[in-house]
């Protein structure tokens, strides 16, 4: 109902009377008044006068009703430990496909390889619960699909030269703009759920040791609206999930990557691989050409770009 009230108010620059809204939505004027009061408490600027209600502005908060017309069921938390934890609980207790958990900030945001993910107010932090009808071995391709969709959305919305870095980071130049974490559980040969968590630096300025970072605000000189980015991404990603073009996702991803043909150091829990990133195979593994001319396939890890001198040492 809040989404419908906002839609009516936003479509009308003049004040709209309680009576008109009540007729339009088929609920009582008292109930409308209660919803408006709640919206005001949530940060919406709605002017109430004897003429009626007038929309004057809204907060950049991804409340669920902002996504009423979109493909996903969105849950918003002002603060969470980690959206990955909430999404896992929801997935295990049977939430529908394309449930999205989004947080204003995270107390213990998680990055890959058990690293913390800086999650101050201003960034976009969310985890999608997906239940695609595919075997677990194909799940990496869906994560590649998510980073591919995100890089295209960011280029399209902001005109930035964003690129994907294996496996699913998004960089602009050498600065990290976004990171992605995937978790899954499977019932025999079918995914039970695949949770994809995304952190995007929007109006925050994370400082991470040993890592250059960038934010959309820093890149554009503006204050991008997080809920618009999320809505746009979810809409494009839902199309990807409907079409599920898993046979061509990796080849398309390669058109947007800065990883290939460059010296890399790939760190996993138990080893480090140094060489030239030669290819990303169809299963999502990174093919690295080693110094002795042989190749090694790396399934998972953090990839660091090396400059030539570092590499030669
Ligand atoms: C990485 O690049 O190391 C992955 C970062 C993933 C961060 C996101 S923010 C939303 C979700 N919740 C978390 O705790 N982590 C992921």
Where do the structural domains in the chain lie, given as residue ranges?
2-57, 64-254, 263-312
Ligand 1 centroid – CA 178 distance (Å): 9
According to the model, what pLDDT value does residue 209 have?
82
H or E segment to which residue 274 belongs: strand 272-280
According to the model, what pLDDT value does residue 312 have?
45
Q: Compute how many other C-beta atoms are within 10 angstroms of the C-beta atom of residue 240.
A: 17
In terms of CATH, what superfamily is 64-254? Bira Bifunctional Protein; Domain 2 (3.30.930.10)
According to the model, what pLDDT value does residue 308 have?
57
**Among positive and negative, which fits the CA dihedral 239, 244, 248, 251?**
positive
**Among positive and negative, which fits the CA dihedral 91, 73, 149, 265?**
negative
Q: If we measure between CA atoms, which residue out of 87, 97, 92, 91 comes closest to residue 132?
A: 97
Fold agreement (64-254, 263-312)? no
Instruction: Write out the two tokens for 79.
Output: 């603060």
Give the contacts of 227 (CB within 8 A, at least 6 positions apart): 60, 61, 62, 66
Flag residues of the chain having pLDDT under 50. 311-313
Which of 84, 210, 269 to mutate for ligand 1's pocket (most ligand atoms within 8 Å of CB)?
A: 84
Instruction: Write out the two tokens for 37.
Output: 């009061």
How is domain 2-57 classified at the architecture level of CATH?
A: Orthogonal Bundle (1.10)
Residues enclosing ligand 1, CB less than 6 A?
Answer: 82-84, 106, 109-112, 115, 117, 125-127, 169, 179-181, 197-199
Q: If we measure between CA atoms, which residue out of 80, 228, 244 comes closest to residue 156?
A: 228
Instruction: Write out the two tokens for 12.
Output: 């009308």
According to the model, what pLDDT value does residue 309 have?
52
> Tens digit of pLDDT for each residue in 20-54?
999 989 998 899 999 999 999 999 999 999 989 99
Instruction: Write out the two tokens for 167.
Output: 């496996």
Top-level CATH class of 263-312? Answer: mainly beta
Q: Tally the C-alpha atoms within 13 A of residue 295's C-alpha that lie toward its C-beta.
A: 10
According to the model, what pLDDT value does residue 283 have?
94
Q: Could you write out the DSSP letters of every residue in 87-107? A: HHHHHHTTPPTTEEEEEEEES
Read off the pTM.
Answer: 0.94
């Amino acid at each position: 109902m809040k989404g419908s009230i906002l839609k009516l108010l936003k479509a009308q620059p003049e004040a709209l009377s309680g009576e008109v809204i009540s007729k339009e939505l088929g609920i009582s004027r008292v109930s409308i008044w209660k919803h408006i009061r709640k919206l005001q408490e949530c940060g919406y600027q709605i002017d109430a006068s004897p003429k009626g209600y007038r929309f004057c502005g809204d907060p950049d908060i991804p409340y669920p009703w902002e996504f009423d017309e979109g493909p996903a069921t969105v849950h918003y938390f002002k603060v969470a430990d980690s959206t990955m934890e909430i999404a896992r609980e929801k997935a295990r207790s049977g939430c529908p496909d394309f449930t999205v958990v989004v947080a204003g900030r995270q107390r213990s945001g998680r990055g890959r390889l058990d690293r913390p993910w800086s999650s101050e107010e201003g960034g976009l932090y969310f985890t999608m619960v997906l239940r695609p009808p595919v075997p677990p071995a194909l799940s990496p391709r869906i994560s590649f699909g998510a980073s591919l969709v995100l890089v295209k959305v960011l280029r399209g919305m902001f005109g930035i030269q964003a690129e994907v870095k294996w496996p699913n980071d998004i960089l602009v130049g050498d600065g990290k703009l976004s990171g992605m974490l995937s978790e899954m559980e499977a019932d025999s040969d079918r995914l039970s759920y695949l949770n994809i968590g995304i952190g995007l630096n929007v109006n925050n300025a994370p400082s991470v040791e040993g890592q250059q970072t960038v934010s959309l605000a820093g890149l554009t000189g503006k204050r991008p609206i997080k809920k618009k980015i999320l809505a746009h991404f979810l809409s494009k990603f839902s199309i990807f999930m409907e079409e599920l073009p898993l046979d061509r996702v990796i080849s398309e991803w390669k058109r947007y990557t800065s990883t290939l043909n460059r010296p890399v150091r790939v760190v996993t829990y138990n080893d480090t691989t140094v060489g030239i990133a030669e290819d990303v195979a169809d299963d999502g593994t990174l093919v690295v050409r080693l110094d002795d001319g042989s190749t090694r396939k790396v399934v998972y890890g953090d990839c660091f770009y090396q400059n030539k001198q570092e590499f030669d040492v």
